[in-house]
């Protein structure tokens, strides 16, 4: 059940994005559906290779060959993005959706100074003069904690460190004042203090503009701090989603439980546990529930039957046979501590 008072900005329905490689078809995003709401930050989490970035690229239609969006719908503010022309999509990317890419250096244009690149975004939005755009660019560079922004505005991306390029990307994305901000690991590689300031800036901008933000991260601590909702992906599927408070208190999918147990140290005396096993090979996914080979609760139905996404609480859904009642077992956090190998 969805909260009625919330205002949907983006709706993804049954999205399928596949990569047609020589070894076979990689189903990077497999029937993913979710909603993003105005004024809210939604965390997208999952281990490496779970399909987080490809989901974001699919929203923007930036999936490169051999990848292809094979099915699904993406609606932004009532606009059907899947039926947009190339030119319409360019306009959406410039004005309605901004993205902070996971690899900022690759996403910046090496031929223009960073001041010019941020300024161009402002000019596109405001139609202002070049000198006003430059002033705004310098203000934004200061806001993302770039020291001496007057001088650094004249630098080319290759003259800046990776962390600095990341902050330039954040400045560019926020300058566009988008309806939707997609931030793909926007603070990885930044010092903790700068990270906190950048997160604060993203939060303030999203809230004051009433936009929506999809925040992709490995860091559940950041999700707990920043996000209202969280979507958990595993092997190209959404396995659980819902309000952050609800999911942290009552995670229903064993994978989410494992992620939480491996991130948050509830009791200082207890070591942090890890999820046993590794992410499956995308070309050789297991049958049934994709998580079953690593799941401490797996039983027979999990091996041959893929669970549906089912209601697990208010605005909370999970894809697990435990939720459907196929497996009747009380899930205890303790089980993870007993079964999972420990990090010394
Ligand atoms: N160009 C490509 N060719 C083939 N497979 C690809 C390509 N790009 C992505 N994939 C596959 O798609 C799947 C999802 O990748 P994606 O980049 O979305 O993962 P992610 O969740 O963002 O991981 P990370 O946390 O490491 O950024 C992976 O199995 C990956 O190998
Ligand atoms: Mg990624």
Alpha helices in 7-161 (DSSP H): 52-59, 86-91, 104-107, 114-126, 130-143, 149-152
Is residue 114 within 8 A of residue 76, CB to CB? The reply is: no
**Pocket lining: 282 vs ligand 1, CB cutoff 6 Å:** yes
Which pLDDT score, from 0 to 100, does residue 267 have? Answer: 58
Summarize pLDDT for 113-146 with one digit per residue, the tens. 999 999 998 888 888 888 999 999 999 999 888 8
Taking only Cα atoms into account, the Rg of the chain, rounded to an integer number of angstroms, comes to: 21
Q: Residue 230 C-alpha to ligand 1 middle, in angstroms?
A: 20
Which pLDDT score, from 0 to 100, does residue 4 have? Answer: 47
Q: Residue 177 C-alpha to ligand 2 middle, in angstroms?
A: 23
Summarize pLDDT for 21-76 with one digit per residue, the tens. 999 999 999 999 999 999 999 999 999 999 999 999 999 999 999 999 999 999 99
Q: At CA 186, angle to CA 182 and CA 190, rounded to 5?
A: 170
Is 250 in a helix, a strand, or coil?
A: coil
User: Whose CA is closest to atom 7 on ligand 1?
Assistant: 19
**Pocket lining: 28 vs ligand 1, CB cutoff 6 Å:** yes
Give the whole-angstrom CA distance, residue 117 versus residue 132: 14
Give the whole-angstrom CA distance, residue 19 versus residue 17: 7
Question: Could you give the residue range(s) of every CATH 3.40.50.300 domain in the chain?
Answer: 8-233
**Pocket lining: 58 vs ligand 1, CB cutoff 6 Å:** no
The 3-state DSSP composition of the chain as helix, strand, coil percent (nearest 5) reads 40, 25, 40
Query: In ligand 1, which atom is closest to the CA atom of 54?
Result: 18
Which pLDDT score, from 0 to 100, does residue 338 have? Answer: 57
Which pLDDT score, from 0 to 100, does residue 2 have? Answer: 45
Which ligand has the nearest atom to the CA of 28? 1
Which ligand has the nearest atom to the CA of 218? 1
Q: Residue 184 C-alpha to ligand 2 middle, in angstroms?
A: 7
CA-closest candidate to residue 181, choices 10, 8, 2, 5? 10
Summarize pLDDT for 143-164 with one digit per residue, the tens. 888 889 999 999 999 999 888 8
Q: Out of 17-26, 39-48, 239-248, 329-338, which region has the weakest mean confidence (pLDDT)?
A: 329-338
Summarize pLDDT for 258-281 with one digit per residue, the tens. 999 887 655 556 666 678 888 888
**Pocket lining: 21 vs ligand 1, CB cutoff 6 Å:** yes
Summarize pLDDT for 184-215 with one digit per residue, the tens. 998 887 888 888 888 988 999 899 889 999 99
Most informative mutation of 20, 26, 218 for ligand 1 (most atoms within 8 A of CB): 26
The reported pTM is 0.90
User: Whose CA is closest to atom 5 on ligand 1?
Assistant: 19
What kind of fold does domain 8-233 have according to CATH? Rossmann fold (3.40.50)
pLDDT band of residue 330 (cuts 50, 70, 90) is low
pLDDT over 70 percentage in the chain: 90
Quick one: average pLDDT of 246-254? 93
**Pocket lining: 50 vs ligand 1, CB cutoff 6 Å:** yes
pLDDT band of residue 19 (cuts 50, 70, 90) is very high
Give the whole-angstrom CA distance, residue 241 versus residue 222: 16
For residue 156, what are the CA distances in angstroms to 105, 114, 207?
A: 10, 6, 31
pLDDT band of residue 1 (cuts 50, 70, 90) is very low
User: Whose CA is closest to atom 12 on ligand 1?
Assistant: 28
- Tell me: pLDDT of 3 over 70: no
């Amino acid at each position: 059940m969805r909260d009625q008072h919330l205002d949907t900005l983006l709706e993804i329905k049954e999205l399928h994005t596949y990569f047609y490689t020589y070894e076979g078809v990689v189903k990077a995003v497999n029937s993913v559906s979710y909603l993003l709401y105005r004024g809210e930050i939604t965390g997208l989490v999952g281990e490496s290779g779970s399909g987080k970035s490809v989901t974001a690229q699919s929203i923007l239609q930036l999936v490169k060959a051999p990848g292809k969006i094979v099915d699904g719908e993406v609606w932004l503010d009532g606009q059907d993005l899947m039926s947009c022309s190339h030119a319409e999509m360019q306009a959406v990317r410039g004005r309605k959706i901004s993205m902070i890419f996971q690899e900022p250096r690759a996403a910046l244009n090496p031929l223009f100074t960073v001041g010019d690149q941020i300024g161009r975004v402002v000019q596109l939005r405001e139609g202002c003069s070049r000198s006003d755009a430059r002033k705004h660019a310098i203000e934004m560079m200061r806001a993302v904690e770039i020291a001496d922004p007057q001088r650094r505005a004249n630098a080319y991306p290759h003259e800046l460190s990776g962390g600095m390029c990341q902050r330039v990307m954040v400045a560019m994305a926020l300058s566009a004042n988008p309806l939707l901000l997609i931030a793909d690991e926007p603070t990885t590689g930044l010092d903790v203090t700068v990270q906190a300031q950048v997160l604060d800036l993203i939060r303030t901008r999203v809230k004051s503009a009433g936009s929506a933000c999809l925040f992709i991260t490995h860091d559940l601590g950041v999700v707990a701090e920043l996000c209202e909702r969280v979507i958990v992906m595993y092997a190209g599927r959404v396995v659980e989603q819902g309000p952050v408070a609800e999911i942290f208190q009552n995670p229903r999918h064993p994978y989410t439980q494992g992620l939480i147990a491996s991130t948050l140290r509830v009791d200082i005396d207890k070591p942090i546990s890890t999820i046993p096993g590794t992410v499956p090979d995308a070309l050789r996914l297991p049958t049934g529930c994709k998580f079953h080979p690593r799941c401490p609760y797996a039983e027979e139905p999990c091996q041959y039957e893929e669970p549906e996404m089912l209601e697990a609480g208010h605005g909370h859904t999970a894809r697990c046979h435990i939720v459907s009642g196929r497996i009747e077992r009380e899930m205890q956090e303790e089980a993870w501590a007993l079964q999972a190998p420990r990090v010394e």
